[in-house]
Chains A and B, each alone.
Chain A
Amino acid sequence: MTRSVGLVTAQKAVFDTPITLSSGATLPRYELVYETYGTLNADKSNAILICHALSGNHHVAGRYTESDKVAGWWDNMIGPGKPIDTDRFFVIGLNNLGGCHGSTGPSSIDPETGKPYGSTFPLVLVRDWVETQARLADLLGIHQFAAIIGGSLGGMQALRWTISHPKRVRHALVIASAPKLTAQNIAFNDVARQAILTDPDFYGGDFYQHDTLPRRGLRLARMLGHITYLSDDGMGEKFGRLLRSGEYKYGFDVEFEIESYLRYQGDKFSDYFDANTYLLMTKALDYFDPARHYDGDLVKALAEVEAKFLVVSFTSDWRFSPARSREIVKALLDAKKQVSYAEIDSKHGHDAFLMEDEPYHAIMRAYLNNIAREVHA
């Protein structure tokens, strides 16, 4: 279990074929950074695509150098002998278009102007990501994925894949996700966006030219996000009403441990994450609604799906609650598709999908073992 994929290197794919996005905008050229773990087998049947969530990236497993303190964001799930076993599968992680970790995004230089795209970078939808991911698969010679796996916004991409490219996905693992956001969920995203958009250092998205970052806005957005990723119980257990100094100071400085935690998370995030990417990712979440072009009927949207599904949710996740996963399950059942569903008991809220947990990992392992047998991996 403690084995890792070891040292990894990011790669870059350049796409010169223009892509027209859902918004109507066209990008003439773009790059995607990605990492791969394991070996693609001779008939190229053992590939797994990992789709990342709001703040994720292509660095899913392993470390870049021996001295890296932190491994890839899903290192507990992916590696030799782990549930997504890199001894059997060829695993691909990428940074989505519009990201800020090396793929073309708002902070990249626009070759037309020689300046960062900033406010001119188009919005990208989940279905657009799926198209760019399909192009990356073409480049790697992968016609059909053994599985496409994602949590949260990543799960939406996995679901979208099965609708956009039914023949290219054998299995979709949709974890802690939803068929579309609720009004409450969009509301949280908009408060986060407002924090960024109203930061004086945002400059309408063109802060790069002003040598500054909208840190305050991004920090608030992240703090708000973090609250919604944890459960009340989990937060209570971890922080309770603990005071840093043990007594009230009668002021507005950091006093409670939860304040310290959120400010730390916010500060860290605002230093490395691009504000425009954050805005773009939250809009991709809000716009996601694969049933929209099928009279709002998800069952119809799923009619052509050939993939089999594993849907997983977590009991204390209120941002992407079990009820939302059950909507996906019901639509799949009504559409006469194959699906298994697990509701994992957890106190970690939405974050649970990233945590190491025996029952959760056991079911992932069991499902992926069957896939491995099916594709002779």
Chain B
Amino acid sequence: MNATTLRPDLRHIADWITPGASVLDLGCGDGALLAWLAANKDCRGYGVEIDVASVTACVERGVNVIQSDMEAGLSTFEDKAFNFVVLSLTLQAMHNIEGILTEMLRVGRTGIVTFPNFGYWENRWQLLLGRMPVSETIPYEWYNTPNIHLCTVYDFERLLKKLGMWSTGRVVLHQGERVEFLPNLLGSLALERFERA
């Protein structure tokens, strides 16, 4: 497997992860990121998934995976067991955001989350027109969305500060391309790397 087969957001996450690091991937899906990191960066790690089909997909790839509900916390894992803890496109659907972010930096030194940026201009525009936004990173209608905690890039960084954490890296993407200019307005997908302040 090579870098080009990774989804763009996962590729940016992979860029942040140092070779040889231990990685916990929360909501790891089919284990694509962990498999890539093992093959290309000599990383060791674990995935956490609630869905049994995803667990099986991970096992098929030879990725270690623990079937578990993250909402119940990460008590299976010791303090500082990992260098990196990744939560990719899951945060916005979780109930206890502060709880999971705190848990991430309990079991790991560096956290990485990705989430749809609610500040993206198309979302703002649709709200201005009086409608709940539906866009490529938030593809659901208001009545069937699993997303209960949407936020903007700035909102997320404010929460980090409140929790005694700080952002050590931010990448905002749109359609897989990095957005450098007015990212909170022009980017639809945010990646944040954070640590304890």
Contact = CB atoms under 8 A, between A and B. Distances in A.
Q: Interface residues of B: mostly helix, strand, loop or mixed?
A: mixed
B81 A333 contact: yes
A366 B56 contact: yes
B76 A344 contact: no
A324 to B, nearest CB: 14
B27 to A, nearest CB: 16
A340 B64 contact: yes
A329 B66 contact: yes
A345 B69 CA distance: 13
A345 B52 contact: yes
A342 B77 CA distance: 16
Nearest to B65: A340
Given A326-B76, A333-B76, A338 B56 contact: no
A341 B66 contact: yes
B78 A369 contact: no
B81 A340 contact: no
B39 interface: no
B59 A333 contact: no
Given A340-B64, A342-B67, A367-B59, A359 B52 contact: yes
A302 to B, nearest CB: 14
Interface in B23-52: 46, 52
Contacts of A338: 64
B58 A340 contact: yes
A207 B193 CA distance: 71
A214 B90 CA distance: 59
B62 interface: yes
Given A369-B60, A370-B62, A340 B55 contact: yes
| Interface footprint category on A | 20 to 34
Contacts of A342: 52, 55-56, 59, 67
Nearest to A363: B56
| Interface footprint category on B | 10 to 19
A334 interface: yes
Contacts of B62: 370
Contact of A333 (B56, B67, B77): B77
Contact of A344 (B52, B66, B68): B52
B77 A341 contact: no
A343 B49 CA distance: 11
Contact of A340 (B53, B66, B78): B66
Contact of A363 (B46, B59, B64): B59
B163 to A, nearest CB: 25
A254 interface: no
B32 to A, nearest CB: 15
Interface in B57-115: 58-60, 62, 64-68, 75-78, 81
> Chain A CB within 10 Å — which of B56, B58, B78 has the most?
B56
Contacts of B55: 340, 342, 363
B60 A341 contact: no
Interface in A30-69: none
B76 A339 contact: no
A216 interface: no
Nearest to A313: B67
Nearest to B46: A333
A338 B53 CA distance: 20
A338 B47 CA distance: 12
Nearest to B55: A342
A362 interface: yes
Given A329-B76, A330-B76, A333-B78, A339 B64 contact: yes
B78 A363 contact: no
A334 B77 CA distance: 7
A310 interface: yes
Nearest to A326: B76
Contacts of A367: 59
Interface of B: 46, 52-53, 55-56, 58-60, 62, 64-68, 75-78, 81
Closest 3 CB pairs of A and B: A366-B59, A366-B60, A341-B66
18 contacts: A326-B76, A333-B66, A333-B77, A333-B78, A333-B81, A334-B78, A338-B64, A339-B64, A340-B65, A340-B66, A342-B56, A342-B67, A343-B52, A359-B53, A359-B56, A362-B56, A363-B55, A366-B59
Given A333-B77, A343-B68, 4 more contacts: A333-B81, A334-B78, A341-B67, A345-B52
